């Protein structure tokens, strides 16, 4: 069980570092372009929630957290 928690901790740390690096690079790229108000793509206008990467990241993190909580609750003896 400790190994599973350790692996999940490493996975969460890895995802957080990748997300930070990706967000930082996007911010620098937008700063260099100096274009803050660009027209929104038509595909994004049709599906604004599905095409939102931040919302998808929160949804995925919540699902992973719920899954790990359910797994640990079912496999630990109280």
12-60 tens-digit pLDDT: 889 888 988 888 888 777 666 666 667 777 777 776 677 778 888 888 9
Give the Cα separation of 51 and 53 in Å (integer): 6
pLDDT at 3 over 80: yes
Give the Cα separation of 45 and 30 in Å (integer): 20
Q: Is residue 24 part of a domain?
A: yes
pTM of the model: 0.44
Contact yes or no for 44/51 (Cβ under 8 A): yes
Give the Cα separation of 55 and 2 in Å (integer): 30
Q: Is residue 49 part of a domain?
A: yes
Q: Is residue 3 part of a domain?
A: no
Q: Which of the four pLDDT bands, split at 50, 70 and 90, describes residue 4?
A: confident
Residue 61 sits in which domain range?
A: 10-35+44-75
Q: Is residue 52 part of a domain?
A: yes
- More confidently predicted of 34 and 67: 67
């Amino acid at each position: 069980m400790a190994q599973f928690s350790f692996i999940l901790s490493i996975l969460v740390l890895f995802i957080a570092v990748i997300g930070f690096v990706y967000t930082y690079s996007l911010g620098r790229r937008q700063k260099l372009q100096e274009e803050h108000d660009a027209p929104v793509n038509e595909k994004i206008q049709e599906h604004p929630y599905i095409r939102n990467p931040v919302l998808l990241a929160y949804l995925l993190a919540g699902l992973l957290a719920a899954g790990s909580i359910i797994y640990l609750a079912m496999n630990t003896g109280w």
